[in-house]
Amino acid sequence: MSIQRPKGTQDIIPGTIEKWQFLEEQIRKICSEYGYKEIRTPVFEATELFQRGVGETTDIVNKEMYTFMDKGQRSITLRPEGTASVCRAYTENKLYALQQPVKMYYLGPMFRYEKSQAGRFRQFHQFGAEVLGGEDPLVDAEIICLIWDFFGRIGLKGLVVEINSVGCPTCRAEHRIRLQEFLQECKDDLCPDCQNRFTKNPMRILDCKNSSCQKLTENAPTTLDTLCVDCAEHFAKTQEYLKIAGIAYRINPRMVRGLDYYQKTAFEVTAEGIGAQNAICGGGRYDGLVQEIGGPATPGIGFAMGLERILSVMEKQSVEMLPEVEAPVVIAALGEAARQEGFRLLGDLRQAGLPAVMDLLGKGLKGQLKYADREQARYVLILGDDELSRKMVIVRDMRLGEQQEIPLDQIKAFLLNHTKCEM
């Protein structure tokens, strides 16, 4: 049997890759306009980074990490997300010495050992952005604006932005007590995961997807009930700025997010029509994270969106995303001398910025013309011994179905002239 790709992974092949490239182009464009610089971190890190950063009580760390010992007996993990790595890089490269806040974005594969299903992969790709060194609620609003603007630009419709405040360690301690008091009576009826969460991280019970847990916790106290003055002010200011920016959001007091580092603002964007895995973007503030992994006390906020899910929404909504591809010039050469001349000409045309290809399999004229057809050539240059001896080339205009002879030394200028006029 032939070898197949691992479960939960995908090959992105020609025909599909163009959609990814389109998305990536839009990402780079908007990030540059909003003043975000790209950061690239390793796809694997010391396991401890995620244990301390993402948190020991999360599903990601407990169940989903690709962890292995390397040949030097170090525990290594394929990154399940990008935020912890960006915070590590911020500290390790002393980015705190630069003008603050530092605004960075990343694009790349993440790895989670999850049960694969529609929209949920073991290797998936995120576009994420992080702002480090800014605690003002204006930063929270600006980052949500970027997300909203991005989705608008790529033409997505029917999205819902949900926000919440999960508070800070001080007000969360109060919430924990109140929530545990509330849950005391129904604790044994919760699902096994939530029973586990009861002592480890009770707040996460609030966004359990199990309908019976949801029913039992319908009237449970949320983090919004116990926000301290500072967190409440931060949340109110963030909303004020979101209103100024014209962003329609919904407050969801039960959305607490599945990573431990969040404080204050948390948010998610969901899309309709792509099934159960409908979260296309998630993020929030993580003011304690840089310090948690050994850096200086630094506020931070960011988001990440799943590119596979975004592409799936774009497909469902029939969003046009194929960029215009410049049709190539195809050189059809007959005989070795013409092939050599054709090969030289190919280099010349490419140097001049014209996409150009030629048959590499030694096909006859008919085969080469068929090849030109499949490549959707705009022009075919036909070169045989006869043309070569007269230093001419036949130019066939595939759109008009006409052909003419042009001197070989004028062909580059001719093509440049004609293709430029069409642009």
Interface positions with ligand HAM (CB under 6 A)? 81-83, 112, 114, 120-121, 124, 126, 128, 130, 259, 279-284, 286, 302-306, 308-309
Query: Residue 124 or residue 235: which is nearer to ligand HAM going by CB?
Result: 124
- Shortest distance, CB of residue 176 to ligand HAM, whole angstroms? 22
Query: Residue 30 or residue 280: which is nearer to ligand HAM going by CB?
Result: 280
Query: Residue 183 or residue 313: which is nearer to ligand HAM going by CB?
Result: 313
- Shortest distance, CB of residue 81 to ligand HAM, whole angstroms? 4
Query: How many whole angstroms separate alpha carbon 214 and alpha carbon 14?
Result: 44
Beta bridge partners of residue 402, listed in sequence order? 397
Closest Cα partner for 305 from 284, 281, 283?
281
Query: How many whole angstroms separate alpha carbon 284 and alpha carbon 265?
Result: 5
Query: How many whole angstroms separate alpha carbon 32 and alpha carbon 29?
Result: 5
Query: Residue 55 or residue 128: which is nearer to ligand HAM going by CB?
Result: 128
- Shortest distance, CB of residue 191 to ligand HAM, whole angstroms? 20
Strands 37-38 and 102-111: parallel
Burial of 94 (0-12, 13-18, 19+ CB in 10 A): exposed
> In terms of residues, how long is the chain?
423
Query: Residue 101 or residue 302: which is nearer to ligand HAM going by CB?
Result: 302
- Shortest distance, CB of residue 184 to ligand HAM, whole angstroms? 30
- Copy the structure tokens of residue 235: 């949340």
Beta bridge partners of residue 250, listed in sequence order? 162
- Shortest distance, CB of residue 384 to ligand HAM, whole angstroms? 54
Instruction: Check if the beta carbon of residue 278 is closer than 8 Å to that of residue 270.
Output: yes
Query: Residue 175 or residue 309: which is nearer to ligand HAM going by CB?
Result: 309
Instruction: Check if the beta carbon of residue 164 is closer than 8 Å to that of residue 132.
Output: no
Query: Residue 60 or residue 392: which is nearer to ligand HAM going by CB?
Result: 60
- Shortest distance, CB of residue 285 to ligand HAM, whole angstroms? 8
Query: How many whole angstroms separate alpha carbon 52 and alpha carbon 34?
Result: 31
Query: How many whole angstroms separate alpha carbon 230 and alpha carbon 21?
Result: 42
- Shortest distance, CB of residue 266 to ligand HAM, whole angstroms? 9
- Shortest distance, CB of residue 230 to ligand HAM, whole angstroms? 20
Contacts 24+ apart (CB under 8 A), 291-296: 292/52, 292/53, 292/261, 293/49, 293/52, 293/53, 293/84, 293/87, 293/88, 293/91, 294/91, 295/87, 295/88, 295/90, 295/91, 295/96, 296/91, 296/96
Query: Residue 119 or residue 342: which is nearer to ligand HAM going by CB?
Result: 119
Query: Which residue's Cβ has the minimum distance to ligand HAM?
Result: 306
Query: Residue 287 or residue 308: which is nearer to ligand HAM going by CB?
Result: 308
- Shortest distance, CB of residue 151 to ligand HAM, whole angstroms? 12
- Shortest distance, CB of residue 302 to ligand HAM, whole angstroms? 3
Query: Residue 206 or residue 280: which is nearer to ligand HAM going by CB?
Result: 280
Instruction: Check if the beta carbon of residue 85 is closer than 8 Å to that of residue 79.
Output: yes
Which residues, in sequence order, are CB contacts of 19 under 8 Å at separation 6+? Answer: 311, 314, 321, 322
Burial of 409 (0-12, 13-18, 19+ CB in 10 A): exposed
Query: Residue 90 or residue 303: which is nearer to ligand HAM going by CB?
Result: 303
- Shortest distance, CB of residue 83 to ligand HAM, whole angstroms? 4
Residue 30 burial (CB count, 10 A) = 19
